[in-house]
A and B are shown apart, each in its own frame.
Chain A
């Protein structure tokens, strides 16, 4: 089967509309809101601060710790029961790995920088939105960072490489009557802006090596569009009057 036109009419390399703002949680040392289509992530950074339990402290540098949580009313179906969630824990871990390479915590031995991301509504691409929001929040908090991290999910829907899949595309068998046997692979990617080095790479689905490399190429272009939005949001607060 051939995926002829995207369900929402977007071009294959087009991202959903994005909206970003920093400083949305005044209590936090840095915070940001990042929306892509209907997926919305709010990130808040607290730290460097004292790290407990003590055995987790690193005497050489600070530790970056991430937390990810979807609000109970943020799922596309039933209410999500709050509580320990394996998916959320895994996402928190890959988030920390995605952000870690650019963050410099050498001036903060034994301390921790905590990043909390909560999502009030979701429509696929949640971990990418979380990472993009967290990157802005870390910058606003003044945590030394050599570069920004931008993240977006790319994928293969049947025979097409598409950028920024939404929920309907991820579950195309449910939404497109022609796609009962559609194959979808969903690939969240995060990159360091200047070097385009990849700090997050995961996949749901099946894909050939050539298609995967094409998808990564598509991601390389797409993350720059996310970066533009992040950069604007960070600078917006300081408009010359």
Chain B
């Protein structure tokens, strides 16, 4: 892996890459004034539409915009073809893996994945063992984080199989770009993504309990104070289904009902945006005010489908991640299309020794961490930070993995001083139900601070529209 980041727009000699040429010409011809005016317009529109997220730990009700950058991330058709095939292959595999570990455990018996990594994992839900879910699908919605390193090769950084968020930004960013710069879309070369809610609804309906002709789907949210509330409401509205909170639902005879102005109405499929632990105070955390008492019992009885299924966290755990390429080979007898980032498992003494000796070159992550918290980025960390991590690793090595520092690709981005390269990643959303499918694109996140590799919105990241070009 080269330390020089890959520039999405320009070749090493500074010339513009073929798939960015039309955009670069447009950018040259557009005055800075118009750009500035459009940036202001975008910001006001995002506020008005309410695409804000709540920030935890600040004043209650603090709402912020995720900064939106006007320079799109463009993916040429041939690259997308590979990405798409690789993502489908990966999500298909992860669903097979989840079904397997909650049933026959063939992959553990074959020794491809160590048994204790799976069964000893806090995210493995014993309650799910032996239980069948419609279509054998566990991760109906997967948000797979993909990055591009020095030579332009793609890597999967993370598989998010619990309640991945951000798809509403993908949709709103596109809407915003079309509103601000309709001329860019006039040549019809940019593939549309706006059918995502239809595709999602179709997939959710496909996994309803058997025998339901017209299943009722609902989106379950923790409520208006959740940081991703905008997205929950947005998706429910776009699909034309009810947005429910725990208090709107009740369970009778293993059947889930919503309280409506016309009396109880049965719910067949719940797209839940509430974590496993909070779903049902009778089955999981007793102090949960967000869940529905009896929901798990109804789920076990096959009377309601939860998307995603309970217990998917074991498959996107960072301690399981290194085994995904072997899973592809095991279940599909295919070679993995997408690369995994080489990963050191710190519970293995040899790898740990190597990592501890090279902390300043590596990225160390907590196995259960998310959102860019609990990470050490060696090359930019201070000595004190490195030493603090060394102590934490020594105390509980099984809680950490380490990876080489990837020089994430950069994309031109509007910053105070003009346009400058900033690091980006990509999260496409892969849907499973009828089949495995995804819309061409995803959410591109950008680290707005110069040199920063952390794209998370909670850590000062922004977003961009993502264009997949037609063939």
User: Are A and B part of the same complex?
Assistant: no
Q: Which B residues form the contact surface with A (CB < 8 A)?
A: none
